[in-house]
């Protein structure tokens, strides 16, 4: 029986806190995969490409189902969807404790865990877009700070648990904890203020229903015919191709350079910590200058960071890269959902954002797999880092001359 939502002004802040937590727990659990690379490789002798393939499959499944989740969320709301996907996320992690063969890795982690991830971005960011019609950029930034918090905390927790209990029990502990928390919080989710069935709201409520705003929204069919949507999709494909390579391979790269396990994990956690600042600041700027301006600035930081990474061979150099990259990473991921809302409206935001996410996860699934193959062939990440820089330039070029949709 669903938990009845309290009818009070502060419920919007509860929604924001839940969406923050969804981002922190879901993304943090996925990013922590990089911490498990080395112990799994040491036990089974699998190549880096083979393990990267499972992460790539999970990311691809996340995006593919994200379109369906977005459509269902537009029609039925987030509570049931979040509950089901959270259970799948936990199940995938628990099954990893029974891992013995490579095909099980792809089934347990790549498919089941990937299905669990499918609602993490779409539900959290679409729900925020609908609850907060005025300060959408700022509130999206707050929620995306949760992603950075997850990237900071969960990889460190995973590394600590692996040292204490081994990687198998670490998967169980992380998976069950994340799933139970998400299932509980899902019972309080509502699609928008209208779904609260409360007719009495303060007149100046910040999170007033965005129903009126949908009058200026593009229909789904019209949005699908715009050049802007597909340009954003292709740019996101190139962009997430780059970002996921960094997030999943920076710890193995640091280990290859001689950093001990906790120090190498610290590079990833630094990215997560700094990205929280990037998400918060970018959210504030979005409401003033718009999402596109924020993305352009973040691309400049990203290219500076990627250039520096190719010469970073000392621990302090890697940590400096983490600071620059973390700012860019946080800002870019914060700006995408508001950009879709600004240019296409929120009537079909779930499915449109799901399409953009699907393109991104396609690039993000290919990127780490390619990085693993190139490393197995060359014994170095340098060829990969050069490819990443070129792809980032392509994504930047696609967005540089893009203009908002006319006659909305």
Characterize 190-203 residue by residue with b for buried, 16 or more Cβ atoms within 10 angstroms of its Cβ, and e for exposed.
bbbbeebeeeebee
Integer Cα distance of 209 and 152 in angstroms: 33
pLDDT digits (tens, 9 = 90+) for 7-49: 445 777 888 899 999 999 998 888 787 788 778 888 888 887 7
d(CA 47, CA 272): 27
From the number of C-beta atoms within 10 Å of its C-beta (0-12, 13-18, 19+), residue 212 rates as: exposed
How far is 311 from 382, CA to CA, in rounded Å? 9
Residues of the chain scoring pLDDT < 50: 1-3, 5-8, 198-215
Burial string for 338-373 (b: 16+ CB within 10 Å, else e) reads: bbbbbbbbbbbbbbbbbbbbbbbbbbbbbbbbbbbb
CA atoms of 351 and 190, how far apart (whole Å): 17
The answer to whether 329 and 271 are in contact (CB under 8 A) is yes
Mapping DSSP to helix (H, G, I), strand (E, B) and coil, where does residue 119 land? coil
**Contact (CB, 8 A) for 218 and 345:** yes
Polymer length in residues for the chain = 408
Torsion of CA 261, 266, 267, 272, to 10 degrees: 140
Q: What is the pLDDT of residue 102?
A: 92
pLDDT of residue 404: 72
Q: How far is CA 173 from CA 154, 229, 363, in A?
A: 11, 40, 30
| List of residues 6+ apart from 261 with CB closer than 8 A | 38, 159, 163, 255
Question: What is the predicted pLDDT for the residue at 387?
Answer: 93
Q: Is 242 helix (H, G, I), strand (E, B) or coil?
A: helix
Torsion angle of the four alpha carbons 247, 251, 252, 257, in this order, in degrees rounded to the nearest 10: 130
Number of H helices, E strands in the chain: 15, 0
Q: What is the pLDDT of residues 44-63, one digit of tens each?
A: 888 877 887 888 888 889 88
| CATH of segment(s) 11-194+217-400 | 1.20.1250.20
């Amino acid at each position: 029986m669903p938990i009845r939502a309290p009818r009070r002004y502060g419920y919007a802040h509860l929604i924001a806190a839940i969406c923050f937590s969804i981002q922190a727990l879901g993304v943090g659990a996925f990013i922590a995969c990089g911490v498990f690379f080395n112990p799994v490789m040491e036990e089974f002798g699998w190549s880096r490409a083979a393990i990267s393939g499972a992460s790539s499959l999970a990311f691809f499944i996340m995006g593919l189902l994200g379109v369906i989740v977005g459509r269902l969320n537009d029609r039925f709301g987030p509570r049931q969807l979040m509950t089901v996907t959270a259970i799948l996320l936990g199940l995938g992690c628990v099954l990893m404790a029974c891992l013995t063969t490579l095909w099980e890795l792809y089934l347990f982690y790549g498919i089941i865990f990937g299905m669990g991830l499918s609602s993490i971005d779409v539900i959290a960011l679409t729900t925020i877009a609908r609850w907060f019609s005025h300060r959408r950029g700022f509130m999206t930034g707050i929620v995306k700070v949760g992603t950075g918090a997850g990237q900071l905390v969960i990889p460190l927790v995973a590394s600590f648990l692996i040292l204490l209990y081994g990687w198998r029990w670490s998967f169980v502990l992380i998976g069950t904890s994340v799933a139970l928390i998400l299932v509980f919080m899902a019972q309080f989710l509502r699609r928008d203020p209208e779904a609260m069935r409360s007719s009495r709201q303060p007149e100046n409520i910040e999170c007033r229903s965005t129903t009126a705003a949908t009058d200026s929204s593009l229909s789904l069919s019209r949005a699908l015919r715009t050049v802007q949507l597909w340009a954003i999709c292709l740019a996101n494909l190139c962009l997430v191709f780059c970002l996921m390579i960094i997030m999943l391979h920076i710890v193995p790269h640091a280990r290859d350079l001689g950093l001990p396990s906790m120090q190498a994990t610290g590079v990833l956690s630094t990215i997560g910590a700094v990205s929280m600042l990037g998400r918060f600041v970018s959210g504030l700027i979005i409401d003033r200058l718009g999402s596109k301006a924020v993305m352009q600035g973040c691309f400049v930081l990203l290219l500076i960071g990627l250039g520096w990474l190719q010469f970073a061979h000392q621990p302090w150099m890697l940590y400096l890269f983490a600071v620059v990259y973390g700012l860019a990473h946080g800002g870019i991921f914060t700006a995408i959902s508001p950009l879709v809302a600004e240019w296409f409206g929120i009537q079909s935001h779930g499915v449109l954002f799901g399409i953009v996410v699907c393109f991104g996860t396609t690039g993000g699934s290919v990127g780490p797999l390619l990085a693993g193959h190139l490393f197995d062939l060359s014994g170095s990440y340098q060829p990969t880092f050069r490819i990443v820089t070129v792809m980032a330039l392509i994504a930047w070029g696609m967005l540089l001359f893009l203009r908002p949709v006319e006659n909305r």
